Structure 1
Amino acid sequence: MALKNSPDHQHLNLTSASQVEVDKRATTTSTTITTTTITIMQTSEPCSLNFTDPEGNIEILQQPDSGVECNYLVTVYLGYGIEVQVSARGSLLFEDTGGREPSILANESVLMRGLVLRSWSNQISIRFRSDHQPNSGSLLLHYQAFVLSCAFPKEPAGGEVSVTHLHAGGEAFFHCFTGYRLHGPKMLTCRNATTPYWSGKEPRCVASCGGMIKNATYGRIVSPGFPGNYSNNLTCHWVLEAPEGHRLHVHFEKVALAEDDDRLMIKNGNNIDSPPVYDSYEVEYLPNEGVFSTGRYLFIEFTTDGTITSTGAAIRYEAFAKGMCYEPFVKYGNFSSSDSTYSVGAVVEFSCDPGYTLEQGSVVIECVDAQNPQWNETEPACRAVCSGEITDSAGVVLSPNWPEAYDKGQDCIWGIHVEEDKRIMLDIQVLRVGKNDLLTFYDGDDLTANIMGQYSGTKPHFKLYTSMADVTIQFQSDPATNIYGYNNGFVVHFFEVPRNDTCSELPEIANGWKSTSHPDLIHGTVITYQCYPGYELVGSEILMCQWDLTWSGDVPRCEEVMTCQDPGNVEHSRKVITGSRFTVGSTVQYICNKGYTLSGSSLLTCYNRDSNTPKWSERLPKCVRKSDKSDSHTKTHAHTHTEPDISFMYSCILNYFVKLNIPLNRARIMVSTLCITTFALLLFSIYCIELFFLYYVETQGQNLAFLHLFVSCFCRNDHVHSDDEKNVSQI
């Protein structure tokens, strides 16, 4: 978007259609005309049209010829502006043309559906150029007039302003506080024009050189030119008259006179011959308690010579009734009171503005002595001090004596400390120091830390950010000269802010915990997540803080474990699994290969033990080679069974025998082998699967029948079975 300002126009606000905002300096209302006239323009010919209705629609179509430029001028009544809403995007330029020079409101780079533009005058121009680009095309606009207004007038220092309204015909009234006189018009009028304006320049409130102040209850008197320097050869007299039955008290805000014949005197009476209660010639320091009148009057005299000048004086006065204490005052601070009339027994507590420190006097004072009411302690003073340690999360650091001039030859150090996981944003709002003065910011808690910035002279508003939870500020003023005065120095606001060099804090997880490789979560920090027993981690166990300050993955979670671990394989065996993923209730059965015997339980069941991790019901078995069975309880006995013309070799383990039943039938041969315990012959401790086949061989005139038999048996947990292959050698 391109923006241009002319002397007659102010900056335009761009807002969304749902919330229209008006620049406070330009307008304060959004009153619209209720009359509605719809104007629709559709043409493919070269175009240059004017619109004068208070409301309307403009539809702009793409032209058939490239390079054709369309101009649309919208003009409404004086005192009204024009609000345009974009209903469909296009490629064009808006200009406010009501002033001496056109001011660009928006171009195609910011146009979007719903965009609202507001002019500062009663006329706008819309230019559309046909170029047949992909982003070109039709555009639908809706406009309506709204009431313009004058900017709010500037309030004068030492005075105030009140306004009837800001539209054309509105009036602004200016008033100065006691001790000041108005320099300029008392009233301004908002005039109607393409852009409404005030009838004149805002007035100033200038400190008076003397005067009679009747019914003086509360106010302030300053020397002419304050807070700047006063003029030469002045003689100013003020007479303060309190209400009947009241006395006067004066607080000294500031007295800075040239070291020659310039003089400030306060006298207890209403004329120049009254006795003095304060004379700048006679005292080196200002009285902290101020001065009092014995009656209704005080006479103040301020005189200067024709040589050097200075800032001058500022005093504050207040009237108080008999039997009461005077109203307290603390410059650059506040106070609270238990009694707004400040009668005997009233308690007042003081506090300072940010950047200032309470010095001298007491934080809490009390009105005492019914016969002669007075405060029991001197009121404190709030001053911007040189150096300090600050642990607040937000605040301000001021140059010494701010806004008064700092002294020459100063070396001040401030330390600001926030929480370890936070950082500090420094907002340097004022920096006006001498070219030989030095303001340095250290990124740490002492002067050996890295220097963030070092400045002299004048610099506009800027900001700094620390990489630590501490910052050290050092100010060194030139010991030779100090040419700077009021409102010169520095004002540094500070705020605790989140770290900008670390990853965000990751949460703890339910039913688990995390461990961190570095407490500050800097680049490269690794966080490891683990789960409590009975739970398993779902997601990444390790997350790393990456260079873009994001974590390498999402935070995992711990879910209750409902499965057993894979029990693994048994050498020389195969396993049969029921269920999926070894869930609770599933089984695993191991079957040894031929020539091996099972040692242990063949069947394992997954079950849950209360809240602990699910376990297998038995330990993993083993498959042992038969020849390795040397123990007396597992030794194998071999036997020979012989039938006529048939010979079998068979064997069973100790305490078992083999029972054979072989019906010799060439059509069908059945072989049954059964191992039965010798201690409980009727109780089967094993079941067998028998496979056999019969074939005939004719040799040497004999018919031989061969029976090949395979036996696979499954024993109970407390038995071991030996498999044998038996051959029928001859039938």
Structure 2
Amino acid sequence: MLRICSIFCAWSVLFLTEVCAQSQRRPTFTCGGNITGDSGVIGSPGYPGVYPPNTKCVWRITVPEGKVVVLSFRFIDLESDNLCRYDYVDVYSGHVSGQRLGRFCGTFRPGALVSTGNKMLIQMVSDANTAGSGFLAVYSAAQPHERGDQYCGGRLVKPSGSFKTPNWPEKDYPAGVTCSWHIVAPKNQIIEVKFEKFDVERDNYCRYDYVAIFNGAEINDAKRIGKYCGDSPPAPVFSEGNQLLIQFLSDLSLTADGFIGHYKFRPKKFPTTTVPPSTSTPAATTRPIPGHMLITGTVITAVVRGGSVYATISIINVYKEGNLAIQQAGKTMSTKIIVLCKKCPSIRRGLNYIFMGSADEDGKGKIAPHHFVMAFKAKNQRVLNVLKNKRC
């Protein structure tokens, strides 16, 4: 018995010694700071523990002159939201008034982010509610040419030009890269973008590798024109104003041929749609009238906020579109809806439903208490086809 006790005590001492050693080796992450050097590690306050609420942390990274900053997220776990409105990490090229390279939340890790100069700014914001383990990222200094074929992106200001994935056309684009092209035209012009060749890892929701195009100078889902993947070139894209941001991201798994695209500046009066304006529509009408919506679809994401559910729906079929804003990538269509009340039917991610509601003047689908949600089954198809031809 004494021998067993001695062995147990010795094992306990060894275990506690190892725990103490590990705790001493683990770095302590604080909220923000000025960081210099060729490489380093940045983490949210308290990582890997839960990050604190109501926090704003800013890290300013500076590497030697003549080099760029390459940032890679090793782990990310922040409150998930389609638009990253509550808890998020922003990454900027430069320290003051720099271009935002991206806003991130949830658990999806972006590819490597590259600054245009020797400075990068990281800002993490959290609200009062849901939290996670935060993030862990590493940065390093590199000469632009040291990244070889993986270096891409930049600011494009000539009246016309091209942009392409790394390695094009000799071989597939590499895994784990992010490219951002910021196109700036004179203030009285808009931008037209066409893809000559396009082959990006296919996924129904373009979750892994994709091209996203935004109006303006930063990555902002509210200004996103489209998100594209697969092997069908997107239709020509026209900016609303004089700036456009094109982002290409590849994850760490499958790759494909990539793409080459071309842009050119157009006079502002150039039509941004192939559909001619209706002569019967009064000139004073600038916004469509809200209407009824009837669709079937699969719930991709569902986030509860203030008693309502904000959901992204992959559309199976549209029976009454009304003014519903629909995004399309290849043959895949998706839309966003809000289930407005606690007493409305609950919806679950991954399941198929019939949604009958309304679309407001901004194109948002809304499901109110007097509207209709139910599980969708193939046998419902005939009844829905009848409704398609009936006026509401």
Name the structure where helix makes up a greater proportion of residues. Answer: 2
State TM-score, norm by structure 1: 0.16
Give the greater-gyration-radius structure (CA).
1
Higher relative contact order (CA 8 A, sep 6+): 2
